[in-house]
Structure 1
Amino acid sequence: MSLFLTLPRPGWFGLGAARAYIQSHPDQNIAILETNETVGGTWSEARLYPGLKSNNMLGSYEFPDFPMSEKIYGVKPLGHIPGAVLNRYLTDFAKHYGIFERLQFKSTVGVVESTESGWTLTVTSPKGKRKIQTTKLILATGLTSTPNIPQYEGADKFGKPFFHAKDFCQRTDDLKGATNVVVVGGAKSAYDVAYAMVESGATVDLIIKPDSTGPVWIAPRKVTPLQRRIDTILNVRALSWFSPCPWGQEDGYGAVRCFLHKTILGRMLVKGFWNMMGNDVLQRNQYDNHPELHKLKPWYSVFWIGSGLSILNYNTSFFDMVRDGKVRVHIENIERLAPGRVVLGNGDQLVADAMICSTGWKKESTITFSGLDKTGLGLPIDQQGLAKLRAEYDAKVLKEFPILENQPVLQSEPKRSAEPLRYYRFMVPSAMMVKRNFAFAGMISSVSTAICASTQGLWITAYFDDRLEREAKTEDEVVKEIMMHTQWGKWRYPCGYGASLPDFVFEGIPYVDMLLKDMGIQNKRKSSLIKELTEPYCPEDYNGVLEEFRQKHGITAK
């Protein structure tokens, strides 16, 4: 069979990939393995809790040809989409396109073995273990599957609920009656948990480590003097020029990008643009008007942050909770835990009825691969050769984008050197380019999730079927492109995910440009030049892309 494997939850990228392949191969036997019991990924039923909303507003978080209409889903214009609505929407999408009927729930893949005919998967379900053979395989494991839980001295003596924010929904009963809750982390999810606990009547101690990247950049719904929506302004083509990006020229405006990033005057304009963006948010949030709120002022320029940028989507003011002392902020390390206490590095002891860790995710896969050659899923290069390539492409990135050389001085200690995900187009390991039977979907962090998910899914289908009109042909070409694209991330987003995986803010639409051009599909989809440059790209602009691809290749859907 041809198999689409989405682990542990079929979210945006898994559903996008499954839909594109099913629509292009209606007669093939396709299975989708799912660890949990519901569809949705981050928005699966088990991860929903009261008040959970998306950062996105209506119109920016939907598949291109499956609109989230206000009439059906009840979300108003400029309304942030509730988590329960997203779960319903993604489930409806799965049922509409024949994905749901192919899902095998409670099926966990432990081992993936490469064989002559494709892949053999070892799957565990309530009925026991079984093996499945497939000719093609997509892994859509996502980036928020395996929680990163800190290890604290004395944790075994804490004696209170202690868990990751991922399990917040499932542990709500354990939090009933809690009056003092400790939340660890400076990301948006930490703010969400803190907000929800205050809403339930608790007081929260929010702890942010001093050796982290600090509090999240969080913006109002509309930014800049022009009052543009923050969730769509990041997809305005002309504004994407101000972000140094190695695939940026795919939008057809390479000369403008060259001026902005390779000339002194251009770089002055780039710095002015990012200063304007950052200062606008800082002034609107009024961090300097209260000593406690000042602790949540971002530590680094928004230029370096990456897709961690977030939006204030609460019904009431989270910052007022801080000003009123309902959320107490501590920039401290945790020294140890004691019975019902969290002891900080400065000696303060916080009373805690519960402790919730919003401390990120482990990026490594929980799946074991076997039967691969010695390079596995990496580049076909030994460590010495890879070190040489890293140095070579560091130099190339800085020559191409001099603005990246002046890196921010981080408060955190240098992280252990680790290889980023080095895949062609951020989807295919170089060793598998020839076989055309394996790809990753969704191993990127992007603010343009829905658009990237649908486009990646179609690109993978075209790649599997050898229908790409443009691709690197030799191993050397593949390696060069992978190195340039992935080494760029280390320099572009040192305060984001850039050193370990693709991180897109203004880079999302140029990335989609690149994938569409690979498939020979029109990437400029606005009705006029002015709109092309100044109007944000939204999912609806890509409505019909799959049909264009099918017509181009004479594929008839049933």
Structure 2
Amino acid sequence: MTSGNRIAIVGAGIAGLACAKVLRQEGFPVEVFDRTSDVGGVWSATRRYPGLRAQNSKHTYHFSDYPMPADYPRVPDGQQMQAYLDGYVRHNGLGEHLRLNTEVVAADPVDSGWLLEIRDRDGIHRTSCDHLVIANGVFSDPVLPDFPGADRFRRAGGQLGVASKFHDVEAVRGKSVVVVGYGKSACDIAEAVSHVAASTSVVARRLLWKMPRKLAGVLDYERLMLTRLGEAHFRYQELGRFERVLHGRGRSFRETNLDVIQELATKRMNLRELGLVPEGRFEEIAESTVGLTTENFYEQVAAGRIAVHRDATIAEMLGDNGPGVQLSTGETIQADVVICATGFHQRVPFLTPYIQRQLTDDDGNFRLYRHILPVGVANLTFVGYNSSVISALNAEVAAHWTAALLGGRLALPTAETMGAQVDERLQWMAERTNGHHAHGTAITPFSIHNIDEMLADLHYRLPMRTRAAQWFRTIKPSSYRGLGERRPSANETTPGVQVPAGTQAVPGS
């Protein structure tokens, strides 16, 4: 089924490119806008910080029909990831559909779709589309805290910025560097600069559990996070048959496994000796992101090249006696450069305030059915708002879900039912993560569950042999390669459901 409906996609990262490729194959005219000069999103040269690497191996972090180059290392770095995505564009002929260096500054709904205001090198222009796909990235708008004394700090010569704007290690050679945060980007940067900086300090408001890529030479990070058995160790919203056992009668087995992993990780990283054992249980590693250990980070801490100030925040920035920071613990640290890896805003600033209020609840959480469809806002879908440790595959399946919606092949519950399910999910996410769920856009560690739910809507089921293998072997994106080759017939749609008003796109011709 093809369509004359014009699709505008905002964002040329992993999610935007996957959506462009799938929709184009379905016959939809697509146009992809991105304000940067290259594709890649978080992997763009405009955002790559020193030490940036993929969390996954090249065997799991790729599109279903486009594997990583054979000569890539097991874990690609940021430059290799961008090159892979650039190759994906060429392989699928997407170049002519890209409008780089072009920012969507406003999007207004009209009867026929959306009126867009875009800014490129030639100025501001207007264009329109029948359907708008938002793929701007849930980790693309970094938070820069409003520290007291920041102006004084800058006047004294101090430099303050965010991780995604820090690109050159040599810029801090011989300087005192403070990195704020304890997530992967914070630890990546701290490890990278610790080899050239005069001093490197990490200010961690809360220590997070982290996991090495390999434990005891047997268990690896992907075996825990990217198998059905590993994922089942974390309690999902709706439990399957085996999961009910694992969280019921088999609870002791599950807890023992996690306790063993926690102890192995503690010993592997020498956390007790370094005074860096987090509070709480190891299970908290999967709140909404996965704490993967930065290679050589703890070795640099042990060597005195990195100082971690745990359970602390920056109370004030100083400048009277040279740039520095005072911590909430009362300690004062010299700081020529402060790099903040303190999270991201999840927002869509180019939408009108009225539409933004329709998309989110009172806490700013995105109310998206299947993390894709805003209930009650017509001609609009999201992709990439199901961020996970296998974002390429999750985004690709979401793109097929979107294509089915736009092609008139997807039967949905009523708007009231979808809204209730979204609210229930957000409540569950808030409870299991203590509110750390990136405003409802991060699905980790339930990447496979998310894929299963979208595939169920598409009436697509993996072969039993493949599903069985996924219980013990890491998921293979290539297993989903045939997803776009089969479409459900009309009699396969779920009986008794209807597409709610305001969500059905115009069927293809």
Bucket of the pairwise TM-score, normalised by the shorter protein: 0.7 to 0.9
Cα displacement (A) at 1:337: 1.5
Aligned positions of 1:12-161 closer than 5 A: 12-25=14-27, 28-70=28-70, 74-76=71-73, 79-158=74-153, 159-161=157-159
* C-alpha distance 277-172 of structure 1, shift in aligned 2 (>3 A): closer
Cα displacement (A) at 1:41: 0.6
Q: Are residue 493 (structure 1) and residue 433 (structure 2) matched?
A: yes
Deviations along 1:393-436, one digit per CA (max 9) or x if unpaired, are xxxxxxxxxxxxxxxxxxxxxxxx7142111111111103xx4x
Aligned positions of 1:493-532 closer than 5 A: 493-494=433-434, 496-497=436-437, 500-524=439-463, 526-527=465-466, 529=468, 531-532=469-470
* C-alpha distance 533-368 of structure 1, shift in aligned 2 (>3 A): closer
| Whole-Å separation in 1 of the counterparts to 2:360 and 2:138 | 18
* C-alpha distance 300-119 of structure 1, shift in aligned 2 (>3 A): same
| Whole-Å separation in 1 of the counterparts to 2:424 and 2:209 | 28
* C-alpha distance 514-247 of structure 1, shift in aligned 2 (>3 A): farther
- Helix, strand or coil at the partner of 1:503: coil
Cα displacement (A) at 1:495: 6.7
Match of 2:338 in 1: 355
Cα displacement (A) at 1:155: 1.1
Cα displacement (A) at 1:80: 1.4
| Whole-Å separation in 2 of the counterparts to 1:490 and 1:140 | 23
Amino acid at match of 1:185: G
> How many percent of aligned residue pairs carry the same amino acid?
25
Match of 2:501 in 1: none
Match of 1:182 in 2: 178
| Whole-Å separation in 2 of the counterparts to 1:198 and 1:494 | 32
- Helix, strand or coil at the partner of 1:95: helix
Amino acid at match of 1:22: R
- Number of aligned pairs? 479
2:107–2:351 contact (8 Å) kept in structure 1: yes
Match of 1:382 in 2: none
| Whole-Å separation in 1 of the counterparts to 2:354 and 2:150 | 40
Q: Are residue 322 (structure 1) and residue 301 (structure 2) matched?
A: yes
Q: RMSD in angstroms over aligned alpha carbons?
A: 2.5
| Whole-Å separation in 1 of the counterparts to 2:95 and 2:288 | 30
Match of 1:440 in 2: 382
| Whole-Å separation in 2 of the counterparts to 1:549 and 1:506 | 29
Q: Are residue 304 (structure 1) and residue 304 (structure 2) matched?
A: no
Greater Cα shift, 514-523 or 345-354: 345-354
Q: Are residue 294 (structure 1) and residue 232 (structure 2) matched?
A: no
Aligned positions of 1:384-423 closer than 5 A: 418-423=363-368
Cα displacement (A) at 1:370: 6.3
The one of 275, 281, 292 equivalent to 2:265 is 281
* C-alpha distance 6-354 of structure 1, shift in aligned 2 (>3 A): same
- Helix, strand or coil at the partner of 1:143: coil
- Helix, strand or coil at the partner of 1:259: helix
Q: Are residue 471 (structure 1) and residue 467 (structure 2) matched?
A: no
Match of 1:244 in 2: 235
Greater Cα shift, 542-551 or 422-431: 542-551
Cα displacement (A) at 1:190: 0.8
2:369–2:375 contact (8 Å) kept in structure 1: yes
Aligned positions of 1:214-253 closer than 5 A: 214-223=206-215, 227-248=218-239
1:56–1:231 contact (8 Å) kept in structure 2: yes
Cα displacement (A) at 1:129: 1.2
| Whole-Å separation in 2 of the counterparts to 1:489 and 1:506 | 12
* C-alpha distance 216-99 of structure 1, shift in aligned 2 (>3 A): farther
Cα displacement (A) at 1:215: 2.3
* C-alpha distance 524-532 of structure 1, shift in aligned 2 (>3 A): farther
Match of 1:202 in 2: 198
| Whole-Å separation in 2 of the counterparts to 1:226 and 1:328 | 28
1:11–1:41 contact (8 Å) kept in structure 2: yes
Cα displacement (A) at 1:121: 0.9
| Whole-Å separation in 1 of the counterparts to 2:421 and 2:232 | 20
Amino acid at match of 1:422: R
Match of 2:403 in 1: 461
- Helix, strand or coil at the partner of 1:150: coil
* C-alpha distance 503-302 of structure 1, shift in aligned 2 (>3 A): farther
Amino acid at match of 1:163: G
| Whole-Å separation in 2 of the counterparts to 1:370 and 1:55 | 35
Cα displacement (A) at 1:462: 0.8
Cα displacement (A) at 1:440: 0.7
Cα displacement (A) at 1:120: 0.7
| Whole-Å separation in 2 of the counterparts to 1:243 and 1:458 | 27
Cα displacement (A) at 1:532: 4.1
Amino acid at match of 1:424: Y
* C-alpha distance 197-418 of structure 1, shift in aligned 2 (>3 A): same
Cα displacement (A) at 1:345: 3.1
| Whole-Å separation in 2 of the counterparts to 1:247 and 1:460 | 24
* C-alpha distance 161-484 of structure 1, shift in aligned 2 (>3 A): same
Match of 2:476 in 1: 538
Deviations along 1:116-147, one digit per CA (max 9) or x if unpaired, are 11111111222111111100110001111111
2:178–2:339 contact (8 Å) kept in structure 1: yes
Match of 1:390 in 2: none
Cα displacement (A) at 1:152: 1.6
Cα displacement (A) at 1:183: 1.0
| Whole-Å separation in 2 of the counterparts to 1:181 and 1:241 | 40
* C-alpha distance 20-552 of structure 1, shift in aligned 2 (>3 A): farther
Cα displacement (A) at 1:32: 0.6
| Whole-Å separation in 2 of the counterparts to 1:369 and 1:258 | 44
The one of 239, 243, 248 equivalent to 1:257 is 243
| Whole-Å separation in 1 of the counterparts to 2:126 and 2:187 | 42
Deviations along 1:491-527, one digit per CA (max 9) or x if unpaired, are 12227326x2143334111110111121121234645
List runs of 5+ in structure 2 lacking aligned partners: 492-509
Cα displacement (A) at 1:205: 1.3
2:231–2:446 contact (8 Å) kept in structure 1: yes
